[in-house]
Amino acid sequence: MKLVFSILFLSVSFSTFLPLAIARGGLHNSNPLGLEYGPGTGSGRHLFEDDESETRVDVAQGYMTNTELERAIKAFGQRCSNISRVYSIGESVNGVPLWVIEISDKPGEEEPEPAFKYIGNVHGDEPVGRELLMLLANWICDNYLKDPLATSIVDGVHLHILPSMNPDGFLLRRRGNANNIDLNRDFPDQFFPVNDYVNRRQPETRAIMKWLREIQFTASASLHGGALVANYPWDGTQDKRKNYFACPDDETFRFLASVYSGSHHNMSLSKEFEGGITNGASWYPIYGGMQDWNYIHAGCFELTLEISDNKWPIANELLTLWEYNKMSMLNLVASLIKTGVHGRIFSSDGGRPLPGFIEIKGINYTVQASRGIADYHRLLASGGRYEVTATAPGYKSKTTGIWLDKAGTNVDFVLDPNVNRRGIPLQSACECRWGTRNVIGIPIWKYTCF
């Protein structure tokens, strides 16, 4: 790589064993409902909580500081300016910019391509993701037009990388942000009103929510530490019990999680999680998580990836962790163009784009086409036949059947307007605006006529 990261090699010793906690489990604000989950009830690997007073050596040695990470991001933007742009989605509690790298052959431009985002360092004491994401960005830049996988990602996907969602927590060496709030328990929840007060949400949470209002992401993954498993929705249950609770796209999520696990060095060989994947609620339920919120409110298929047994491994393990996760990270992004059905929706009356909807027979979930160029990207598990329907207010729906084998398929829909007996298009007297639509009792954002 042209951009060199200096990784110091050191040994870390602990004077005593620290309290055990599960990777997604929590400190402050992680259990607002008094639910029974944690080290005694959750299965999966356990790990050490950070406690600076009992740590002889600063585990952050060899990791980029927040200042160094910002410099690395900006340096990447200059070095790879032909296929990237750097922008901020907001600031942390202490005013640290939340920098994002976008990688694409046309960064910042609207194209009929899916968008994917990686988010690292959601928990301040899980910093492996921020290092690996910078290595990922630089690998793609160095291998564009040389490696077919790197080239297909740059040419076919808009990849957005947020190395650190929680820079304040990283600086403080703790899970929560500067207000000691667990950001992965700070999002609106589908079952309980734990985070319904907008003014109480943390600035990092608000920045993510605003980001997804501005960019329509097809899929996403957040990187965590403390276990080795690919976690998928739902993360919680309505009765607060630990059991498998499938979302409407359970088969697709299992497929995506298996793409990551199966491409990993040893995740799929797990003796604790079959195939190296798990339903979140089956592992242990959490509430206010970012993963479920993405799927419910933003139409974004998000995974929670636990990528290292140790939450904060010593720095000389980072390159090994990168090699273990590299193909998984690349293949998950590439899966957006290697599977599913993609296309655009047009009106037969003039050919203008229609921001309509895509529905799959038997799956109670609707994907919306973009408002600008009306492109849609409907992820689906490979190896099956699907009945795809396109709809738009004031237009006749159209349905077609597709077969997905080992590649995705493209289907453009041209919809005819509803007309009266004289053949004149019917003008809707209602106002079209953003609203909600229930899916198994859950509010889903959808363009609706009232």
Q: Does 433 have pLDDT greater than 90?
A: no
| Region 167-176 average pLDDT | 98
Tens-digit pLDDT profile for residues 272-310: 999 999 999 999 999 999 999 999 999 999 999 999 999
The CATH architecture that domain 341-417 belongs to is: Sandwich (2.60)
**pLDDT at residue 170 in the model:** 98
Q: How far is CA 351 from CA 373, 413, 428, in A?
A: 11, 11, 19
Provide CATH code, domain 66-337. 3.40.630.10
In the annotation, is 306 catalytic?
yes
Q: Average pLDDT in the 183-193 region?
A: 95
Among candidate residues 114, 105, 107, the one with its CA nearest the CA of residue 343:
114
Cα distance between residue 198 and residue 183, in whole Å: 14
15 pLDDT band (50/70/90 cuts)? very low
Q: Which residues, in sequence order, are CB contacts of 131 under 8 Å at separation 6+? A: 5, 63, 64, 318, 322
Length in residues, the chain: 450
Identify the weakest region by mean pLDDT among 29-33, 123-127, 382-386.
29-33
pLDDT in tens, 222-273: 999 999 999 999 999 999 999 999 999 999 999 999 999 999 999 999 999 9
d(CA 217, CA 331): 17
- Count Cα neighbours of 355 within 13 Å in the Cβ-side half-sphere: 12
**Which of residues 150 and 26 earns the better pLDDT score?**
150
Give the model's pLDDT for residue 54: 39
Domain edges within the chain: 66-337, 341-417
Q: What is the pLDDT of residue 431?
A: 37
Q: What is the pLDDT of residue 419?
A: 80
Kindly report, residue by residue over 367-405, the tens digit of the pLDDT: 999 999 999 999 999 989 999 999 999 999 999 999 998
- What's the rounded Cα separation, in Å, for the pair 384 and 390? 19
**At 423, is the pLDDT very low, low, confident or very high (cuts 50, 70, 90)?**
low
pLDDT of residue 18: 32
- The confidence score (pLDDT) of residue 352 equals 95
Q: What is the pLDDT of residues 46-57, one digit of tens each?
A: 333 344 333 446
| pLDDT score at 195 | 84
Instruction: Flag whether pLDDT at 5 surpasses 70.
Output: no
Confidence (pLDDT) at 445: 38
User: Taking the model in full, what pTM does it have?
Assistant: 0.85
What is the average pLDDT score of the chain?
86
pLDDT in tens, 194-211: 788 888 999 999 999 999
Confidence of residue 39 (pLDDT cuts 50, 70, 90): very low
Q: Identify the active-site residue in 70, 102, 306, 359.
A: 306
Percentage of residues in the chain having pLDDT higher than 70: 81
